[in-house]
Amino acid sequence: MTATKKTLSISYRTLNQTDLNSAYELSQAVKWPHRIDDWKMVHNLGTGFIAEYNNHPIGTVLCWEHGEKFASLGMVIVSPDMQGNGIGRALMKQILAKIGDHKNVLLFATPSGQPLYESYGFHPSGDVYQHQAIVKDSHPIDSVHASQQRSITPADHKAIAQLAETACGLAREMALNEVLKSATGVVTEQQGEITGFALIRKFGRGYAIGPVIGSTQDEAKAMIQALVNQHTHEFVRIDVPQSSQLSPWLEEIGLPKVDTVVRMIRGEMPQTDANVQQYALISQALG
């Protein structure tokens, strides 16, 4: 007999490194692209919970701290055959208690998940567009921007973390240090000062570009194009805020929009600098 909502006995505990294979299998069940290495990266940076029914994993949630004032949460998954039993709500209650009331909390919601998050005091703060495809062609970069670009080196890590923090209003050093273990990228340098950077790493079905931080949209486009050109005939994904206004251009270079999620916040928005902007996320989990 199928268990009903009244008879379910579900337990919740901390998600450990030994649970990552189970978490990966859950993400496969809901058709997420994450590899086991992608799970390892987000787990290394944060903490979370796993829901179990009869000792079988049926749900996950993770959270990450971004300095003293902000946190984000994500990787909210409930097994398809166990949805509708309040598991997502219970996981949210657990993770928000872990984060505490003193932090402002960010997340990225699908339309189906948005009502749950709104019930916990989150409100929308802009759309994020997911673009992806197998790259068919390379495209030229204008000579001015090309001449300002170079490959990222370890000596740049502190400067790009500071630039990202200025653009996002979130502490980014820990997240970027983890991403840079497997990422490559480019910086834009003008008169000896780094004004922008873009990273690319293996993710999901191929590669993910992000974050992209720049002082102008043209600078961001040039860095994205440089990375795309390095991966022709390979699968590339990029997640861009609506405010970046990059979606039409990404369509033009062969990366169509395939999905939209909503950025949501509980509390105050991060304070950013108008002179530098985030043009692409690290990921929908980490912002």
Residue 23 covered by a domain: yes
- Retrieve residue 190's tokens: 């003008």
Residues 237, 140 share a domain = yes
Q: Does 21 share its domain with 146?
A: no
Confidence of residue 7 (pLDDT cuts 50, 70, 90): low
Cα separation, 217 vs 221, whole angstroms: 6
- Give the mean pLDDT of 270-285: 94
Distances, alpha carbon 194 to alpha carbons 167, 222, 251, 269, 287, in Å:
13, 15, 28, 26, 21
Mean pLDDT across the stretch 212-221? 97
Please, what is the end-to-end C-alpha distance for the chain in angstroms?
42
Q: How many domains does the chain have?
A: 2
Q: What is the pLDDT, as a whole number, of residue 274?
A: 87
Beta carbons of 157 and 262 less than 8 angstroms apart: no
Q: Are residues 78 and 142 in the same domain?
A: no
**What is the per-residue pLDDT for 2?**
42
The CATH number that applies at residue 179 is 3.40.630.90
List alpha helices for 46-101, DSSP H. 87-99
What domain range is 17 assigned to?
Answer: 10-102
Q: Is 244 left (phi over 0), alpha (psi -120 to 50) or beta?
A: alpha
Q: Is residue 180 part of a domain?
A: yes
- Greater pLDDT, 84 or 49: 49
Q: What is the pLDDT of residues 88-119, one digit of tens each?
A: 999 999 999 999 999 999 999 998 889 999 99
Omega into 211 within 30° of 0, i.e. cis? Answer: yes
Same domain flag for 157 and 268: yes
The overall longest dimension of the chain from CA atoms, in Å, is 71
pTM of the predicted structure, to 2 decimals? 0.93
Q: Look up residue 169 and give its DSSP letter.
A: S
119 in a domain, yes or no?
no
Say yes or no: 21 and 87 in one domain: yes
Strand partners for 205 = none
Residue 3 lies in a domain: no
Q: Is residue 256 in some structural domain?
A: yes
pLDDT averaged over the chain?
94
Q: In the chain, what percentage of residues exceed pLDDT 70?
A: 98
Distance of CA 55 to the CA centre of its chain: 30
Residue matched to tokens 């974050």: 211
Element (DSSP H or E) covering residue 36? helix 36-45
Same domain, 147 and 97: no
User: Is 162 in the same domain as 264?
Assistant: yes
Q: Does residue 125 sit within a domain?
A: no
Q: By 3-state DSSP, what share of the chain in percent is helix, strand and coil, each rounded to 5?
A: 35, 35, 30
pLDDT over 90 at 222, yes or no = yes
Going by C-alpha positions, the residue among 181, 260, 248, 250 that lies closest to residue 212 is 250
Q: Quick one: 178 and 223 in the same domain? A: yes
Rg (CA), the chain: 19
Distance CA 211, CA 158 (A): 15
pLDDT at 1 over 50: no
CATH of the domain at 30: 3.40.630.30
- Clarify whether residues 137 and 274 are in a common domain: yes
What is the reported pLDDT for 146?
87
Asked whether residue 96 falls in the same domain as residue 204, the answer is no
